[in-house]
Amino acid sequence: MIQGIGASTGVAIGRAFVLPSWEWDVPDRRMENIDLTKEFDRLYEGIRTSKNEIEIIKNEIKEMVGSEESGIFDAHIAILEDPVFMSEIQGIIERQYKAAEVAVKEAIDHFVTMFDLLDDEYMKERALDIKDVGNRLLKHLLGTPDVTLPADTQPYILVAKELSPSQLVHLNPNNVLGMVTMLGGKTSHSAIMARALGIPLVSGLENKLTAPIQTGDLLIVDGDEGNLFLDPDDGLVDKYSQLAEQLRRRKEQLQQLASVAAVTKDGTRLRLAGNISSLKDCEIALKHGAEGVGLFRTEFLYMNRSTFPTEDEQFEVYRQVAEKSGDHAVVIRTLDIGGDKELEYFSIPEEENPVLGYRGIRISLDCQELFKTQLTAILRASAYGHMKILLPMISSVEEVIEAKQVLRQAMHELELKGVRYDDKIPVGIMIEVPAAAAIADLLAEEVDFFSIGTNDLVQYVLAVDRMNEQIAHMYHPYHPAILRMLRTTVSAAHAAGITVSVCGEMAGDERSVPLWLYLGIHDLSMSPLSLLRVKHKILNSKAAEGNLIGEQCYQLRTSAEIEALLEQGGAKENLNSSESQE
């Protein structure tokens, strides 16, 4: 048994297929009489071909995992457009008289070495993206075929030094039992995609193996504990076969809950909706039992194109989501770009701290015609279903008032044209900035509902960038300060008679259920893949017990104590659930 990192949960038993390294042999060619124009033309053609190929891959994988996970490939396109990376390649060609493929290989090696020297796991894993993109570009410059994968007829456990998203996209997930990588961790893009595809993955085995794994070796992959078993005996195979069967049955049992209402044992009803970024995401969420859409991240409609989407283009998407959702509500968050989300055709000046900069509602109110176009599309779609408008990054009453003025202008223009829309469409705000939580009572007078975005709220309240590995351990959703912010927000909403929901990652964490029961939050919106787990937790909970656990959480002083209490509640519930099934 070798202990690695459990990067994607689940158990797999099968024969290994060892993937050859996706690295090309590039002779160091320096040419005395280099034709610079020809080499630059070859480079630019390779870039164009690579970008087109990545776009095709992204659209293919979106059908399997949804828009958010497939957005990994946006980062790959960004690398090909990065001026620093391109300048490095161009400089090597121009100054050292080297062929385009040699320049690309040297640039890859330079940046990968630089990232690997950083004491930052996140940056080390981003080095894999550079290698992935660079190798794709080299493939086109050298005219080399892709590394072939085993035939789909025989399921296997894929073993590689490291796996790039580009390699994963060519896999048939029905025939990949599990994956093992020597490098990488939980935040690597391959781990994100493995979790989205439901494939168990153990990573971080570099220098832990006494001998390399060979194609055909029998393996057991335990993605929950991060264990890899080589050449296991019959007893161990039987043990993990039973565990795999239990997990399979549990998955089937959870899927049966899709049509069941989320009601506690003592009759408290919660509504579980889905966070989506596209029509495909909406279909996945509804399949997993979502009661409508609690958060439509519309910025994904604006990405991967050269111009802003028109009113008609947006209307068509919103209408289809409304119709697919039937009688359930669809909460559409207006454009939330800035920070880590950029549009290549909309220039945002370089900022020292973009997370605190020009983003969300600040851009919308600064570009009111753009904002009004989106609001008009939403209003038109509201005639086809139960739509709600959600404003992001609100920090003041003034912003809400100004946004509602733009909404009234859009309504007036539709009335003049005789276009139908819901003139009572609810308007809500994201509570994700500490200022919004602090003045929740004032904001509640201006809106119809609150939606708490816990991801940004935790980041802002604790002043912790969770993508910074040096301080990521300080990112605690169950910090007493976060719990107090939640209580302040919910109290203000209830006092004003408006609804309040949670749409951040805490909503999809089943450990949080006692908190929502205690606070009186009955609307949750989460990733489609979290819906059934959270519903199972609710069905096996009692509101009275949740209230007791929630009350105890507010008496504790540290994140560790609160998390331990919530973990204990979950462990007790799982044990009882298992006993009842037996």
Question: Phi, psi (5° rounding) for residue 500?
Answer: -140, 135
Active-site residue 553, yes or no?
no
Both tokens of residue 120?
């930052």
Q: What is the DSSP letter of 257?
A: G
Q: What's the Rg (C-alpha) of the chain?
A: 26
- Which residues are CB-neighbours of 274 under 8 A, at least 6 positions away? 281, 282, 284, 285, 286, 288, 290, 292, 293, 294, 295, 525, 526, 527, 528, 531
DSSP codes, 390-441: EE-S---HHHHHHHHHHHHHHHHHHHHHT----TT--EEEEE-SHHHHHTHH
- Report CA dihedral (415, 418, 419, 420) to the nearest 10 degrees: 80
State the DSSP H helix or E strand holding residue 221, giving kind and residue range, or none if neither.
strand 218-222
Nearest in space to 178 (alpha carbons), one of 165, 161, 153, 195: 195
Alpha-carbon gap, residue 172 to 181, rounded angstroms: 18
- Which residues are CB-neighbours of 381 under 8 A, at least 6 positions away? 315, 318, 319, 321, 322, 387
Among 282, 479, 503, 553, the one annotated catalytic: 503
Question: Phi, psi (5° rounding) for residue 177?
Answer: -70, -40
Strands, E assignment, 435-476 = 449-452
Residue 178 three-state SS: strand
Among 76, 140, 189, 479, the one annotated catalytic: 189
Q: What is the DSSP letter of 383?
A: G
Alpha-carbon gap, residue 225 to 490, rounded angstroms: 37
CA 571 to chain centre: 27
Q: Is 517 exposed, middle or buried (0-12, 13-18, 19+ CB in 10 A)?
A: buried
Alpha-carbon gap, residue 72 to 197, rounded angstroms: 14
Alpha-carbon gap, residue 296 to 282, rounded angstroms: 9
Active-site residue 503, yes or no?
yes
Nearest in space to 257 (alpha carbons), one of 280, 287, 283, 282: 287
CA 182 to chain centre: 24
- Residues annotated as catalytic are 189, 503
